[in-house]
Amino acid sequence: MDKFLNLKRKSPSTDDIHLDDMPHDPGERKRIHEYDHNQIDEVRRKYLTRGPCQLRGHSFKQRVISGALRRFNPSWFDQYGDWLEYSVKKEKAYCFFCYLFSNEKKSGSVGFVTEGFDSWNKSDRLAGHVGAVNSFHNIAKKKCEDLMRQVDAARYLLKQGLPFRAHDETVDSSSKGNFLELVKYTAAQNEDVSKVVLKNAPGNNQMVSHPIQKDIVNCFLEEVINSIVQEMDNDVFALLVDESADCSMKEQMAIVFRFVDKHGMVKERFVGLIHVKDTCSLSLKSGIDSLLAKYSLSLKKVRGQGYNGAGNMRGEFNGLRALISKENSSAYYVHCFAHQLQLVVVAVAKKHFEVRDFFDKISLLVNVVAASCKRKDKMREIQRDIIEKGISNGEIKTGKGLNQESSLPRPGITRWGYQYKTLLRLIEMFSSVDEMLMYVEDEGADLTQRSQANGLLKYIHTFDSFCKKHDTGILNMEDDFIDPRKPRKKTNITNLHHYQFNFFYTVLDMELQEFNGRFNEVNSELLVCTSALSPTGSFREFDKEKLLRLAKFYPEDFSVMECISLKQQLDIYIDNVRRDERFTDLKHLGDLSRLMVETKKNLSQPLVYRLLKLSLTLPVATATVERCFSGMKIVKTVLRNRIGDQFLSDCCFIEKKIFEDVANETVIKRFQAMSERRVHL
Question: What is the b/e burial string over 171-192, where b = at least 16 CB atoms within 10 angstroms of the residue's CB?
Answer: eeeeebbbbbebbbebbeebeb
Whether the pLDDT of residue 301 is over 80: the answer is yes
Judged by average pLDDT, the poorest of 67-71, 334-338, 375-379, 525-529 is: 334-338
Q: Is the pLDDT of residue 3 over 90?
A: no
Contact between 241 and 253 under an 8 Å Cβ cutoff? The reply is: yes
My answer on whether 184 and 310 are in the same domain is no
In a domain, 515, yes or no: no
Whether residue 220 sits in one domain with residue 129: no
Is residue 156 domain-resident? Answer: yes
* 196 beta partners: none
pTM (global) more than 0.85: no
Cβ proximity of 299 and 328 under 8 Å: yes
User: How buried is residue 26: exposed, middle or buried, by Cβ count under 10 Å (0-12/13-18/19+)?
Assistant: buried
Contact criterion met (CB below 8 Å) for 369 and 408: yes
In 3D space, the residue among 395, 234, 367 whose CA is nearest the CA of residue 302 turns out to be: 234
Instruction: Name the CA radius of gyration of the chain, rounded.
Output: 35
- 599 and 667, same domain (yes or no): no
Mean pLDDT over residues 178-192, rounded? 78
Asked whether residue 272 is domain-assigned, the answer is: yes
Q: Are residues 330 and 299 in the same domain?
A: yes
CA distances in angstroms from 443 to 49, 369, 430, 450, listed in the order given: 74, 12, 20, 8
CB atoms within 10 A of CB 249: 7
DSSP string, 236-293: -EEEEEEEEE-TTS-EEEEEEEEEE-TTS-EEEEEEEEEE-SS-SHHHHHHHHHHHHH
Identify whether residues 11 and 119 lie together within a single domain. yes
CATH code, domain carrying 651: 3.30.420.40
Segment 225-258, tens digit of pLDDT: 999 999 998 899 999 888 888 888 888 888 999 9
When comparing pLDDT for 66 and 414, which is higher?
66
Residue 79 sits in the same domain as residue 159: no
Count the domains in the chain. 5
- Inside any domain, residue 568: yes
Cα 655 to Cα 88, 206, 228, 290, 650: the distances in Å are 41, 30, 9, 21, 12
- Are residues 332 and 224 part of one domain? yes
Mean per-residue pLDDT of the chain: 81
b or e along 552-570 (b: 16 or more beta carbons within 10 Å of the residue's beta carbon)? ebbeebbeeeeeeebeebb
What is the DSSP code (8-state) at residue 507? Answer: H
The answer to the question of residue 484 being in a domain is no
Residues 644 and 606 in one domain: no
pLDDT at 610: 94
CA angle 114, 116, 117 (to 5 degrees): 150
**In this structure, are 316 and 427 located in the same domain?**
no
Same domain, 538 and 666: no
The two counts, helices (H) then strands (E), for the chain are 34, 9
Q: Which of 440, 460, 459 is nearest to 450 (CA)?
A: 440
Q: Which residues of 376-414 are buried (b: 16+ CB within 10 A; e: fewer)?
A: eebbeebbeebbeeeeeeeeeeeeeeeeeeeebeebeee
User: CA-CA distance, 601 to 610, in Å (whole number)?
Assistant: 11
In this predicted structure, the answer to whether residue 297 has a pLDDT above a threshold of 80 is yes
Rounded mean pLDDT, 529-551: 91
Where among 617, 640, 659 does a domain terminate? Answer: 617
Alpha-carbon distance of 144 to 550, in angstroms, equals 56
pLDDT of 468 reads 54
DSSP state of 38: G
Spatial distance between the Cα atoms of 595 and 616, rounded to a whole number of angstroms: 14
Domain boundary among 474, 492, 507: 474
Q: What is the mean pLDDT of residues 165-171?
A: 78
Q: Quick one: 443 and 363 in the same domain?
A: yes
Domain of residue 192 covers 151-197
Q: What is the pLDDT of residue 24?
A: 85
The domain boundary, picked from 131, 147, 163, lies at: 147
Residues 331 and 353 grouped into a single domain: no
- Percentage of the chain modeled with pLDDT above 90: 16
Other C-beta atoms closer than 10 Å to the C-beta of 114 total 14
Q: What is the pLDDT of residues 444-474, one digit of tens each?
A: 777 888 888 888 888 877 664 455 554 545 6
Q: Assign 335 to helix, strand or coil.
A: strand
Beta bridge partners of 268: 258
At 333, is the secondary structure helix, strand, or coil?
Answer: strand
Q: How far apart are CA 632 and CA 615, in angstroms?
A: 31
Q: Work out the pLDDT band at 311, boundaries 50, 70, 90.
A: low
Q: Is residue 652 in some structural domain? A: yes
CA distances to 30, 119, 646 from 103, rounded to whole Å, are: 12, 24, 45
- Asked if residue 514 is part of any domain, the answer here is no
Give dist(CA 209, CA 460) in Å, integer: 63
241, β-bridge pairs? 255
- Residue 105 exposed, middle or buried by CB count within 10 Å (0-12, 13-18, 19+): exposed
